[in-house]
Structure 1
Amino acid sequence: MPNIKFSTLSTFLIFWVLFSCNTKDSISNKIENNKISEKVTSKSNKYKDCNCKDNLQLADYISCDETLFSNGAKIYRQFNCDSSWLVFQNKNYKKIIYSLDKQMIEYTHKLGYVEWNEYEKSILIENKVVSGCCQPNEFVLIDKENGNLIKELGKEIFLDIDNFNPIFVSLDNESKKLNFYNLNNRESRSIDFNFDKIDITIKSGFMFHPEELFEDGSIKNDVFKIKYRYKLDVNENWKYENVSINLNKLHN
């Protein structure tokens, strides 16, 4: 075997190359580890109340994603093994506006406050009172600035989603009126309405909720139009009656 000799300069160069490679790998690992650490910490902080170690499947269908509104406020869900809750938060404070306890936590997204839409000064929230079918959802209106409840609007027969003049229309069976609520300026108006045919239909068991009888609503040129179906006798077919109301003639 030939006798190989290294000069002092050659030895130094070999040592320097090996040291540089090891150092580069070490620095790269530290940078990568820091990135992973920062990412996990960020996710952990944001979703610190979005897990249940006793039921990991909850995380598959309970979303903790935020809904951000135009004024900087936001709504998001949180949950643990004992309950789920809906949070309203702005830059000054946060508050829980709805919650489900441990026995009902698996109905999150199916029961209670399930969906929401933003309007000029408020947030309209759909409140699902039963999980499943056969009962119309109710609606509540909360203040977009502080999350406080403005009004329980009840069930709707029509919702005009016009951004400039959104109108929520509902029935008041006790006072025998149709109610019209402007979701932007919070102005409420009403008009007397004849419930006779609707009452007979409901009492005869053809339908359980009067709101389910209404369909094809619209608002054009300040005129509200809708129709409802009714039955006055078990042997007759469904009949329809049209309703037309000039919104400019409503009283407060």
Structure 2
Amino acid sequence: MSRIDTTFAALKQQGRKAFVAYIMAGDPDFERSSEILAGLPEAGVDIIELGLPFTDPMADGTVIQRAGQRALEAGQTLQRTLDMVRTFRQTNTTTPIVLMGYYNPIYSRGVETFLRDATDAGIDGLIIVDLPPEEDEELCIPAQNAGLNFIRLATPTTDDKRLPKVLQNTSGFVYYVSITGITGAAAAEATDVGPEVARIKAKTDLPVIVGFGIRTPEAAEKIASVSDGCVVGSAIVAEIAEGKPASEVLAFVRSLSDGAHRA
């Protein structure tokens, strides 16, 4: 079992939903990003999604686009992102970390080299938004063979014909994108999300986690109540963008995790 599998098994035994937090690696700089990363588990985060900054983040809204730009301007690279994870693992060996981003930096490094370095650093899973199931041989299958979960996105436009293809090599969990569009673009509604989650769960035993459009503890609770948990990204990144100290960012994260865990 991967760290992700172990985490979901423990949450199920406790009767709790998962809270997943996203931050951009290196935003606003390496030191402050590392401090926030280190504090996420204590703030109630069950799984960490760590964004890999990229120059052309086509699925992201302006909040996360700007975070990636800040990180790149501060000198963040794929190597420095792996170094952050390696440092995190010196004090935390249980909280799963999922690297979320785009294929280009991985392709540039070389798939075999990247997978070796990622597993050595302590990465548990990948969400690569611009690699469809038709390209599974490119990264998905090698990643699974290396012991990494490959997490796929399902969306409101993933119909019953497409869904089996999306699910066929997915592991860890399914990430359901609650809205049509980019990150941070609209608010997620539990009444819309619930039936879609049920539709996906009828086709897989994997947990279904809902992201996009969740900004408040109340929204986290509502979305988690109709799924296996929720992801918050843009709302956290916006707090970082305001220049707040790590302690205030983590207090906000704690409020969100408390909301999800009430579900």
On whether the aligned pair clears a TM of 0.5, the verdict is: no
Q: TM (normalized to structure 2)? A: 0.20
Which one has a larger percent helix, Structure 1 or Structure 2? 2
Q: TM (normalized to structure 1)? A: 0.21
Which one has a larger percent strand, Structure 1 or Structure 2? 1
Q: Report 1 or 2 for greater relative contact order, CA contacts < 8 Å, sequence distance ≥ 6.
A: 2
Q: Which has the larger radius of gyration?
A: 1
